[in-house]
Amino acid sequence: MNLNGKNILITGGTGSFGNKFVEIVLKKYRCKKLIVFSRDELKQYEMARVFNAAPMRYFIGDVRDAERLHRAFEGVDIVVHAAALKQVPAAEYNPFEAVKTNVMGAQNVIDAAIDCGVKKVIALSTDKAVNPINLYGATKLCSDKLFVAGNSYTGKSRTIFSVVRYGNVVGSRGSVVPLFQEQKKKGVITITDKRMTRFWITLEQGVEFVLKCLDIKQGGEIFVPKIPSMSIIDLAKSIAPNCRIKVTGIRPGEKIHEVLVPKDEARQVLEYKDMFVIQPNFPWWGRSRLAGGKGVDADFEYTSDNNKHWLTSKDLKKMTGGCL
């Protein structure tokens, strides 16, 4: 999508995704304004020292604060919603706070976007939102449902909402890769279950996929990229081949394998070369709204253990720029 001359806002903009999004957008486009909306004053200060180009704006605010969102969204063309409480153990221990940010925050973003006439909104989701067994996943499932349903509330504003859903981001804050790199120094890598598999994507791939979806979205879709899987034990061996591996037991809220497209949604799925698109269950939605794509089998599902694309140690090093 051509973002030249556009006013763009990203919630949770000081996070790993936000930093990479800003970096790529500033390199590729000449947008009018690029607004980072987040709660953390220090992170904004640090980010502003790196990204201080003319289009940059930094707004202190919380997605829980509907009034602040309305003020921030004035004159904005595109919103990328990346703000979330995403640490599974923290969400389990602080469930009310997770609901306030991930669910009520999503509703606030939707309301503000409609009221302010934002043209396009895309929300970031996670594989943990599919068949959730932890509170974080449940709040993101609810958030996804709200953004898809938001298209039915737009009225005259014509705001269109869509969702991007992908797996673990290699090297993002709080992910297992930095943890393994830290544990490597001590000679022992801890994993919870040897059978565990996960989907993997880089920050750059995630940002580029979001930009692509902004271009083709019609409103109501959940976009799922085709990305590789890797077992956690292979990941650990790739990062620290000479370290001892200690199995600690699966934690509350963890799955052995993750799901990006569940079997129950197969009838709504269109497959493309590099992605799946889950279409909404709206009476007014027709397959003609999206060009190309083909249906999948009725029993199709896309899981981290039935994936056709698996990462090798060499692939992982390439994904991380050889830093592992």
Q: Where are the domains of the chain?
A: 7-167+201-226+263-298
Beta bridge partners of 245: 189
Number of other CB atoms surrounding residue 291 within 10 Å: 9
User: For the packed helices 135-149 and 105-116, what is the interaxial angle rounded to 10 degrees?
Assistant: 20
Strand bridging mode 188-191 / 259-261: unpaired
pLDDT tens, position by position, 59-83: 999 999 999 999 999 999 999 999 9
Task: Look at residue 288 and tell me whether its pLDDT is greater than 60.
Answer: no
Number of other CB atoms surrounding residue 274 within 10 Å: 10
Residue 25 CA to residue 204 CA, distance in Å, equals 11
Look at residues 80, 60, 89, 209 and name the one whose alpha carbon lies nearest to residue 97.
89
As a whole-number percent, the residues of the chain with pLDDT over 70 amount to 96
pLDDT tens, position by position, 83-131: 999 999 899 999 999 999 999 999 999 999 999 999 999 999 999 999 9
User: End-to-end distance of the chain based on CA atoms, in angstroms?
Assistant: 33
Q: Which pLDDT score, from 0 to 100, does residue 323 have?
A: 54
Which residue among 20, 120, 128, 140 is the active-site one?
128
Q: How far is CA 65 from CA 7, 38, 105, 296, 300, in A?
A: 21, 11, 8, 41, 40
Catalytic residue check, 128: yes
The average pLDDT across 37-55 equals: 97
Amino acid of residue 239: I
What is the reported pTM?
Answer: 0.94
Superfamily of domain 7-167+201-226+263-298: NAD(P)-binding Rossmann-like Domain (3.40.50.720)
Strand bridging mode 229-231 / 275-278: unpaired
Residue 148 CA to residue 218 CA, distance in Å, equals 11
Look at residues 236, 227, 299, 293 and name the one whose alpha carbon lies nearest to residue 258.
227
